[in-house]
């Protein structure tokens, strides 16, 4: 049976239980039984005095890339300090009012999912303010299998809030493992305690946990969207809808002009059978192509144990660009942390001049993408920080 770090903490009575705690969390952070982590801890007598929220806010409803404001938690009455907007980290004033930082936010295993980078700012704040960080660990929902890691490895020239430091897109680590890795490798020097989860094996995926799925952000509403996200998020840098504003968010790619049947056939012919592409239609209520009927390719991963999400996403874009050269365009993607939205593909892939890759002939593109997505060095790089 699998238990999260929060479940184990609730069974303990640590010496710091009555110290003033600032908790970095959101409503995707729950116990095994589905209780919100912050409420469960307060009920158990932990002295949480304020909350810090990441992108999408405490209620996990904020739109992608939109700044979030400070507020008050309707459930607990605690003040909520936003770490996605005017600030990305707690300031000295916030830290002066707490003794310990507590972190419990689920991740989905992809470099450009911003909760990880909020964690890195928390690490730096903990070190600067002399505050201990207690991290409640959770399994990686798309597995901890290092054979499934996918690059490209980020280069520091392309550092941003969707990738501050070198690592692959799909990393196969837990937040606790990455906290230990970055704290050491970046010489941050924070005092960290990771409260491990239990019952998790690295080859397990979220459905194997036998715990109900909890959406981690507005656009991640299913395990399939988590699996496909490392590749389909690249669509943000194009004029192709990634399904936001529909029932197919990060499960499909569509436009009003897409020849979806041809693209689906090509994907099926080029996949190894681990994924099935089919034709659907959708009409987004927000994001790209609002109120326009879109012809789309829906993807269903049938064998998650060998699915290469980044390669799939890169290939999808290449096929659509080749099939529709006059309609396809690269696009900006403005957010609170990148107001102009420029260079979004470079930031997502973590490499410079990435658009030029997609101008290569298909065979050369596949060879280049295969080389870039390979990241054997990552497993060796993080091996001594792995907890499971």
pLDDT at 58 over 90: yes
Structure confidence at residue 272 (pLDDT): 84
Return left, alpha or beta for 110; rule: phi > 0 is left, psi -120 to 50 is alpha, else beta.
Answer: beta
Domains within the chain, CATH numbers bracketed: 5-139+174-216 (3.40.50.12170), 223-373 (3.90.1150.140)
Within the chain, residue ranges assigned H as helices are 5-9, 37-43, 92-96, 115-129, 175-185, 223-232, 260-270, 309-323, 344-349, 362-373, 376-382
Please count the residues of the chain: 388
Cis peptide before 152 (omega within 30 of 0): yes
Cα separations (Å) of 283 from 65, 166, 229, 287? 22, 37, 20, 11
Nearest to 194 by CA among 103, 90, 100: 103
Structure confidence at residue 198 (pLDDT): 99
375 close to 383: Cβ distance less than 8 angstroms = no
pLDDT at 73 over 90: yes
- Averaged pLDDT, 150-163: 98
Q: Exposed e or buried b for every residue in 341-370, given b needs 16+ CB within 10 A? A: eebbbbbbbbbeebeebbeeeeeebbeebe
pTM reported for the whole predicted model = 0.97
- Alpha carbon distance 163, 206 (integer Å): 24
pLDDT tens digits, one per residue of 327-373: 999 999 999 999 999 999 999 999 999 999 999 999 999 999 999 99
Nearest to 148 by CA among 306, 23, 5, 328: 306
Structure confidence at residue 273 (pLDDT): 87
Cα separations (Å) of 247 from 170, 220, 230, 236, 243? 24, 10, 18, 17, 7
153 close to 159: Cβ distance less than 8 angstroms = no
Contacts of 64 by beta carbon, 8 Å cutoff, 6+ apart: 55, 56, 217, 218, 219, 244, 335
Tell me the pairing of strands 132-136 and 100-104.
parallel
Average pLDDT of the chain is 98
- Averaged pLDDT, 136-142: 99
- Averaged pLDDT, 26-41: 99
- Alpha carbon distance 250, 228 (integer Å): 6
In which band, very low, low, confident or very high, does the pLDDT at 321 lie, cut at 50, 70 and 90? Answer: very high
> What 3-state class would DSSP assign to 338?
strand
Tokens representing 281?
């239609």
In which band, very low, low, confident or very high, does the pLDDT at 137 lie, cut at 50, 70 and 90? Answer: very high
pLDDT tens digits, one per residue of 246-301: 999 999 999 999 999 999 999 999 988 899 999 999 999 999 999 999 999 999 99
Structure confidence at residue 376 (pLDDT): 87
- Averaged pLDDT, 93-118: 99
């Amino acid at each position: 049976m699998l238990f999260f770090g929060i479940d184990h903490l609730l069974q303990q009575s640590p010496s710091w239980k009555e110290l003033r705690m600032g908790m970095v969390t959101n409503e995707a952070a729950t116990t095994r039984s589905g209780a919100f982590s912050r409420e469960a801890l307060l009920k158990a007598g932990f002295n949480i005095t304020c909350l810090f929220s990441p992108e999408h806010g405490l209620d996990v409803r904020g739109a992608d890339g939109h700044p979030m404001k400070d507020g008050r938690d309707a459930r607990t009455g605690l003040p909520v300090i936003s770490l996605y907007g005017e600030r990305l980290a707690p300031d000295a004033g916030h830290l002066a009012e707490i003794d310990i930082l507590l972190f419990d936010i689920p991740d989905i295993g992809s470099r450009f999912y911003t909760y990880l980078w909020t964690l890195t700012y928390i690490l730096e704040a903990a070190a600067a303010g002399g505050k201990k960080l207690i991290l409640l660990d959770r399994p990686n929902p798309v597995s901890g299998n290092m054979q499934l890691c996918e690059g490209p490895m980020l280069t520091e020239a392309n550092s941003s809030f969707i990738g501050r430091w070198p690592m692959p897109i799909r990393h196969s680590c837990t937040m606790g493992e990455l906290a230990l890795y970055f704290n050491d490798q970046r010489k941050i020097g924070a005092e960290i305690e990771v409260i491990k989860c239990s019952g998790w094996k690295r080859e397990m995926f979220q459905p194997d946990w036998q715990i109900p799925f909890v959406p981690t952000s507005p656009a991640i509403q299913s395990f399939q969207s988590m699996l496909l996200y490392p590749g389909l998020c690249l669509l943000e840098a194009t004029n192709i809808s990634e399904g936001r504003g529909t029932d197919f968010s990060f499960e499909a790619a569509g436009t009003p002009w897409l020849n979806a049947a041809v693209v689906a056939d090509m994907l099926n012919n080029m996949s190894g059978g681990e994924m099935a592409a089919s034709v659907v239609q959708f009409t987004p209520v927000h994001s790209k192509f609002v109120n326009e009927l879109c012809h789309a390719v829906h993807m269903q991963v049938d064998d998650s144990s060998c699915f290469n999400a980044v390669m799939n996403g890169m290939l999808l874009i290449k096929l659509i660009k080749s099939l529709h050269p006059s309609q396809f365009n690269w696009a900006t993607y403005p957010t609170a942390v990148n107001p102009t939205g420029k260079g979004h593909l470079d930031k997502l892939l973590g490499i410079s001049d990435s658009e030029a890759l997609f101008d290569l002939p298909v065979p050369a593109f596949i060879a280049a993408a295969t080389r870039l997505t390979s990241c054997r060095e990552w497993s060796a790089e993080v091996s001594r920080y792995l907890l499971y």
